[in-house]
């Protein structure tokens, strides 16, 4: 399971011209599910995303998590993060889990964030999405479980 998290000033996701999810200050999470992933891994990754300290404290150090910073979390499915790019000129997506399996874990992951008190808006799984963001920093980290 891979989460690419970006600290953002704002972010949104649009499907067929309609905004389906948006946040102000917070984290944009691009989430990829791999075949060996499970609910335990999804729960642990949600804990890490919610607790990861990437927001500055009063001393300018990254010591605050998204909740402590008063931020929000937007989750967008991104199977391409699981691509094998080690050779050739075209990515292989054999590292990504099957769509039905992925959708269930994606929804479970988002549910875990909601149980932590986040609204956690999302994109639409499997849709052609247009993601807009203003990366703050820029600050981007890849979390894997």
Taking the C-alpha atoms of residue 33 and residue 37, their distance in angstroms, rounded to an integer, is: 7
> Does residue 73 sit in helix, strand or coil?
strand
Q: Tokens 């989430």 map to which residue?
A: 31
Active-site option among 19, 68, 80, 142: 80
* Token pair listed for 51: 């607790």
Distance of CA 31 to the CA centre of its chain: 4
Chain segment 100-133, per-residue pLDDT in tens? 999 999 999 999 999 999 999 999 999 999 999 9
Task: Provide DSSP, 6-32.
Answer: EEEEEEEEEETTEEEEEESSEEEEEEE
pLDDT average, residue stretch 70-97: 95
- Per the prediction, the chain carries an average pLDDT of 97
Is 79 among the catalytic positions?
Answer: yes
Indicate the DSSP class of residue 97.
Answer: P
Fold of 2-144: 3.50.80
Active-site option among 6, 19, 40, 79: 79
Active-site option among 6, 78, 110, 122: 78
Chain segment 8-30, per-residue pLDDT in tens? 999 999 999 999 999 999 999 99
Handedness of CA 54, 138, 120, 142 (dihedral sign): negative
Percentage of the chain modeled with pLDDT above 70: 100
pLDDT average, residue stretch 122-145: 96
């Amino acid at each position: 399971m891979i989460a690419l998290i970006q600290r953002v000033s704002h972010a949104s996701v649009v499907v067929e011209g309609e905004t389906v999810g948006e946040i102000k200050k917070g984290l944009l999470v691009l989430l990829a599910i791999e075949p060996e992933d499970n609910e335990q891994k999804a729960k642990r990754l949600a804990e890490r995303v919610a607790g990861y300290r990437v927001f500055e404290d009063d001393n300018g150090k990254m010591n605050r998590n998204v909740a402590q910073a008063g931020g929000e979390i937007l989750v967008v499915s991104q199977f391409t993060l699981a691509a094998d790019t080690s050779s050739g000129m075209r990515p292989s997506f054999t590292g990504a889990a099957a769509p039905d399996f992925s959708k269930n874990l994606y929804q479970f992951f988002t549910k875990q964030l909601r149980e932590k008190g986040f609204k956690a808006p999302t994109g639409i799984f499997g849709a052609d999405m247009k993601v807009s963001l203003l990366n703050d920093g820029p600050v981007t980290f890849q979390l894997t479980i």
